[in-house]
Structure 1
Amino acid sequence: MSMKPWPRSLRPAAAAGSLLALVMAAGAAGQGQIFTGRSDVVEVEVPVYAVKNGRPVRGLTAADFEIYDGKKKQRITGFEVVDLELGVGTGRPGGELPMAARRHFLVLFDLAYSRPESILKARTAAVDLVRNALHPSDLVAVATYSHSQGPRLVLSFTSDRNQVETAIASLGMHKLTGLQADPLGIVLTRVEGNLLSREISQGVPDVSPSGPASGDVDFESELQQYLESINQQRRRSDRRFDASRVAAMSRSMSDLGALLDAVEGRKHVVYLSEGFDSSLISGEAKTDEENRKIETGQYWDAGLDQTFGDSSLARDVEEMLEAFRRSDVVVHTVNVGGAAVVGADTQELEAANLAFTGGGDLQSLGGSGRNSLLTIAAGTGGGFYDNFNDLQDAMGQLLSKTSVTYVLSFSPKNLAFDGAYHRLQVKLKGHPGVRLEHRPGYFAPKPAYQRGALERRLDTAELLLSDRDRGSLELSVLATPFPVEGEPAYVPVVIEVGGTSLLGDYAGSVLRTEIFAYANDAGGSFADFFTQFLELDVAKVEPLLAASGLRFVGHLDLPPGDFTLRVLVRNSGSGDYALRVRPLHVPAPLDDGPLLVASLVPEATDRWLTVREGDSQVAERDIPYVFTHGDETPYAPIVRPRLRPGIEVPLYLLGRNLAGAEIDGRVLAADGRPIGAAALALGERLGHVLGDQLAVRFATGGLTPGDYRLEITATDPASGRRSSSVVAFAIERPGDAAKGGAR
């Protein structure tokens, strides 16, 4: 479900504070739904699966569906089809799949009701499922459950299979993964000098039945001890104590179900467990002595909870299952200590389903860990698998029938922004025998300050997986990769946010701003990231923000190659945000020939509210600030210059081996169409900490107002080798204010 921003009247005031710039060390603030645009119109996306005889039904159109919000029929305003088997996507830019149509799998290891040896072996099935069964567009998260910590999200939903396998191998034990510095939890791996080491993801121990790989014994030993310490709590056998723990698990799992509503689309939880004793709910067989006491009225001494089960506990479990259903969560349970039979008997599933169709109740199912798993699966519409060895094959039908998704959209009128639950019904016209699966309802949006930390974390992480620009803030990004011999490239990232858009109508005294930057390689794996959490005293910074905006300078460490850079900036109080997705090429160092890294328009650092990354990030690389004039006075590169016509603009060309190179340029239209040669005047060669820096002046005479690109090329006259860089700029109309980068 995607929604647009809440009304201004619902935006909260922040607490007072001083001007601070702090690196975020814990959960990121954010919004619990994805909002686009600037009105209070809400668009609800409903993914629908149409299934007949266990196979997806293709070829349906919007005219085949009807959708009801409560009892009120809604007009379908959007319709998209995603077919993973045929490779058919929607008409969105770049072929991006709507997030509501992407399948989400949460691999949940139950450390409380499973033996350590069962969990260790179950990792094999989980890795096999992720590696071989899921579609590349599927998103995967990893979590654990224990009595002491409850549900713990080890890894947020991500497409990075290396991170997923690391999370499964380590089960989130920090001693085995290294420092988890990512507040969003989508990067879980060892950090060395801010360069994300592949040591863990490449060296994940062999979790196959043959045992750990050579040299990884310590890894497995540490994990075994960790699981044993958790499992000690499981060995206490007091029945009432056990019941209280199942009740606590049910309540915390209900919270998990509600939390997952922040994630768009259907969520599939693969629950790896041996199950709790379901006789706590259903009761145990009565002895002759217990029957005698009941017949003589000695109920207090007959152990009625043990005999008939705990009705209060049954209600807790039913409320947990209802929380999952309302958030469109399907739980597939896997008996990690089970026998060699795959799948539940049909009669068993039918009996379990009676508990949720009015024909029976949870207390009719009998007692065992196996039956509790059967209950959870049946109560959410999931599958039960009595052995983890063939999990991939057993889930094949699920993966097939959910390979075709119809995404229906509608905009409810006069929707209150109160977080209330609305029931949905989708009907299919004229297709007998076709069964529809869809979420049973949706929650109305609520203000940002009412969202919990984990809810905001999940939503932010999912937003960063988008493949297109989103949001309403004025946001521009410039990444300048400097090759370094024998080390990863040093990539400063300059982020500019228009101050007026960042402030908006926000009435708080402290402006809390979140900044996230993540780089994925061509295979989808995370290569590096940085995050920053700023708290700004509005009274002190508002004049400068209103005149220009916020400029932040951070850096990434990346190897040579092609990457996708995603930068998200958000006002924590209002929830207003912007996401920019940009391709990034990091060149390798050259022994000879020119390498032109960037063409930059310099500006004094005090024209914007300029904040640099914290001291700990600066210290990660022994590299001083790279944007300096010849006299080492710092400047800030303008990310998107706005220039006046008929002037000369200073430029700095940064790169390597530029001495003696021939410099020429041309002006292009915004669409890349050539306009003509650029009027360039080459100045002096300046020193630079990472190579060469040439001063150039660019004359804008003859250019009419509009958007342009300046392409500058350095050519080695001896070898003919060439290297180019491009800077986008705009020519302002006469009389426009010289604001925020206009020169």
Structure 2
Amino acid sequence: MPKSGNSTVGYGNRGFLSGLLVGIVCLGVAFGQVGTAQTPPPQPGTPQTAPPPNQQPPATPPAAAPAPANPNPPETVTHDEPATFKARVNLVMVPVVVRDKQGHAVGGLHQEDFLLFDKSKPQVITKFSIEKSGGKAKSAEPDEKGPEKPADQSLPADAPERFVAYVFDDIHLNAGDLMRVRDAAGRHMETLGLTDRAAIFTTSGQIELEFTDDRAKFHDTLLRLMPRPITSGGIARCPDLSYYMADLIANKNDQIALNAAAYETMACLNMDPTDPSSLPTATRMTEGAARQEVSNGSQETRVSLIVLKAVIRRMSAMPGQRTIILASPGFIAPEQRPEETEVMDAAIHSNVIISSVDARGLYTDSTFDASQRSSMNANFGRIKAQYDREAARAQADILAELATGTGGSFFENNNDLEAGFKRVATAPEYFYILGFSPQNLKLDGSFHALKVNLKDPGGLTSQARRGYYAPKHLTDAQENAKEELREAIFSREEMHELPVDLHTQFFKPNEETAKVTVLMHVDLKRLRFRKAEGRNRNDLTIVSALFDRNGNYVTGNQKLLEMRLKDDTIEKRAETGLTVRSSFDVKPGTYLVRLVVRDAEGQLMSAANGSIEIP
């Protein structure tokens, strides 16, 4: 008889951004670890919380005297030890959207239609796929065995397929822009479909709403939004330096910027321009203000990027199409470019599209803004206005980079913010993923500029990420394997590389609880084996998970099926195959089921979707 054991995996999703300013939020999936003790079963239907990352496994008891080798080892063993996968080469993933002259996304292109350059050097595209928005879920067949009732696995009509996270940059937004973009988001939310789920997050971490289809909760949360700058936002400053201009003064020794700001300091402090000491004093004050603004701006940018990564991790746990809409006036990241690249890499690997709405709307030149202070020197006043224009463009650049680098859209310089939300919330109908392995890549963290061209454009244009930063160390092969499984379990994409099928059953011992059984059936005739020591060897890692009707993770487990089969066993099981069961205690309700299976020999993967409705 095969041995069996479940490794229950849990995630805590409530309030995951709270406390962000005092530490980095760590979200994610920790698949089952090797252990000798059975994990206690979860409480019915309640999302479980993963153990703290620093928690040590139970101490291993003293080893007993070694037993004599079993001359006839079992042919199949199922337990909760994760499989060991071969290391994969370092891949750089590049999402590309190709559009025609009307701006429509174009499908039907092939790998050979693209040219990819890394630091102007042509690269060999080793991974290629075309992604289409939306998709159909797989219907699984019921199992007729046992006392349990076979579940209807066709997905319900309102099963979530698309998840939209509205991220409001309340750190950088002023009150007027925040009110306008908030109202536009509320109107846009009314247009979301039956299978859409929406969430609200803020860069300050103070306000959040988990994914829901409850529009009343959504609007109530919107009304709670307000500017929450980390530094003293809203207070008149002298001089009024942008992070962009402060960086030029403090880090790039831009004397023109320093002089322009110094004259503004003299004006706002009503210093006597005829006093020879006024300009040197104003210059020293400006230099100090620039250093402080760089410190403040760097902190606000870093927190904003940390929040985006946290939201991406949160969205990676949603089983469907994932879009982040960042509503922001933009910000600059002169010292945080590697962190920005990490955000894009995380989004690409989690199949999350980031789109951006510039909440400032139509840009207005500060030169003609009567509310702005005038400089004592007209020439330097014009120079200051020029720096303000450059700062505005720099702030927009990061919004554009996040969008183009992840396959999203960027809406700017337009006051119709509702139309902006409508445009960016719709993922491109088609986009391509190009992957390549950089040759002789140095682990030095340096920036690599990327360029993607079409061999025969024919009026088509391509949008792709602009570059990436080289890693400073190689990732662990075992961690890569876990990450691939995690990405697959929280996707809705179906894969059929292995001959496996998904079946479900449920049994109700009473009106309050139910037991769901997820069955993985594998066809041995079509599975690849490696011959060793007279046995046919392969290992299957099997991950099962349940999600509620809003796509929130409820519970899951992982098993490893080790097969050391004799030839006659494969012949006997040719028609029946093998079945592995995973059971969960839940409350009655509707659940989405996700099954992912990966083998060790062929490095192949299959994934299937199902649904269970327990009355």
Higher strand share: 1
**Higher RCO (CA 8 Å, separation ≥ 6 residues):** 2
TM-score (norm 1): 0.41
